[in-house]
Amino acid sequence: MRCSRAEELMSLSLDGEASPQELIRLEEHLGDCARCFQRWQSLRGVSALLGSSPMAEPAHSLVEAVMWRVEQTIHLLLVRARAAITHERLDLHRRRW
Ligand SMILES: [Zn+2]
């Protein structure tokens, strides 16, 4: 994957709009590319800062709740996608042998 594509996927996933396949490909790219990994960390750092800003106190818990939901959803999608991929590989393996 190109770094420019990875950056697109980063903002999609922060918005909760990336597909499970896209999240996996992004995760793979982040594992291989230190530059994008750093960018991802700082993007997520910005999200965390927005979520913990003392000036936004009334909205604070709402933002945090939304971020938590997004993270849970991403996690769930990743787990499901991994399970689906593992299942597919096992099927292929069985068919071949
Ligand atoms: Zn990259």
Q: What is the predicted pLDDT for the residue at 62?
A: 66
Q: What is the 3-state secondary structure (H, E, C) of the chain?
A: CCHHHHHHHHHHHHCCCCCHHHHHHHHHHHHHCHHHHHHHHHHHHHHHHHHHCHHHHHHHHHHHHHHHHHHHHHHHHHHHHHHHHHHHHHHHHHHHC
Ligand 1 centroid to residue 25 C-alpha, Å: 11
What does the pLDDT read at residue 56?
Answer: 47
User: 39 CA distance to ligand 1 centroid (A)?
Assistant: 9
Domain tally for the chain? 1
**For residue 61, what are the domain limits?**
3-96
Q: What averages of pLDDT result for each successive group of 10 residues across the chain (97 residues)?
A: 94 89 92 93 75 54 75 82 77 68
At 31 the pLDDT is 93
Distance 26 CA to ligand 1 centre (A): 9
